[in-house]
Amino acid sequence: MHILITGGAGFIGSNLIRKLFQDNAGVKITCIDNFDPFYSADIKQFNIREFKSNPDFHFLYTDIALTAAGELSALIPETIDTIVHIAAKAGVRPSIQNPLAYQQTNVIGLQNMLELARERNMKQFVFASSSSVYGINDHFPWKEDEQLMPISTYAMTKLSGEMLGHVYSRLFGIRFIALRFFTVYGPGQRPDLAIHKFTKAILKGDPITMYGDGSTSRDYTYVDDTVQGILAAMKYDQSDFEIINLGNNYTISLQDLIVAIEEVIGKKAVIERYPEQPGDVPTTFADISKAKKLLGYNPQTKLNDGLKKFYEWFKENEELLLR
């Protein structure tokens, strides 16, 4: 089994690679990443440090948005069984400031990967979509067939990705499984995300930023649970196109999240309040009944347990993370 994982040096990708190597003897993994400067390349190098000595791990430094399918195919001559496409420019607010860059990476980059799958007659393609595609929608919890009203460029590119996958599935028989991730956290979490930012600020004694009154809420999903869903999607073969929520079916307010982090760290946060930010949705909340039915998905990690595991990882690696 040879698996191609884009964005493999990032948070979710590196956790997926670790789990694949732990549970699958003989699996070969090609990891594509361009160390996008959205956050430090040192952290991404750290994420994949343990894989580099594994002869079944191959790292390819390239920008998928600028590398056509033919070039990719030449760089990876071996048969590829599955593509897991996680690479993307992330972040709602930056996408509003620089929409063209997000269009280039998140849509053209996906197009190149789908062309690679088409040229190589590949069957299985798993795509990392996002809960942000739902936009502002009070029909909680969100089902996959809800009307979608994205309110950021990032969300729009993810919705475009889902539809692009549908086109390739219909035209070329590629099985395309789009997984809508809901606020993934845990060891390795990106430094721009709330749990990581808040933990770092509290430990350093810096103020944390609260946008709005703290009532916004998110469906926080522990990374091991998300990885479980990805692994199941890689094996799914009952249809050729599906869109599936991977959340925790539980939502928590920003204010309550801060309190939970304070309790885990044992130190109070200093909070600075700012107005709500453009592109942020007030609530995310996943209906995961489809994931349970099709993938056997069953998230196990409660928020407090997940926060403790994240904090343990952070403390173990604080020399790197507190820079």
Active site residues: 154
DSSP string, 187-250: TT--TTSHHHHHHHHHHHTPEEEEETTS--EE--EEHHHHHHHHHHHHH--S-SEEEEEE--S-
Q: ∠ at Cα 308 (24, 232), nearest 5°? A: 30
Which token pair is 139? 């029909």
235 burial class (0-12, 13-18, 19+ CB within 10 angstroms)?
exposed
8 A C-beta contact, residue 157 and residue 186: no
Cα distances (angstroms) measured from residue 282 to each of 140, 150, 179, 212, 221: 12, 13, 21, 10, 17
Q: What is the DSSP letter of 235?
A: H
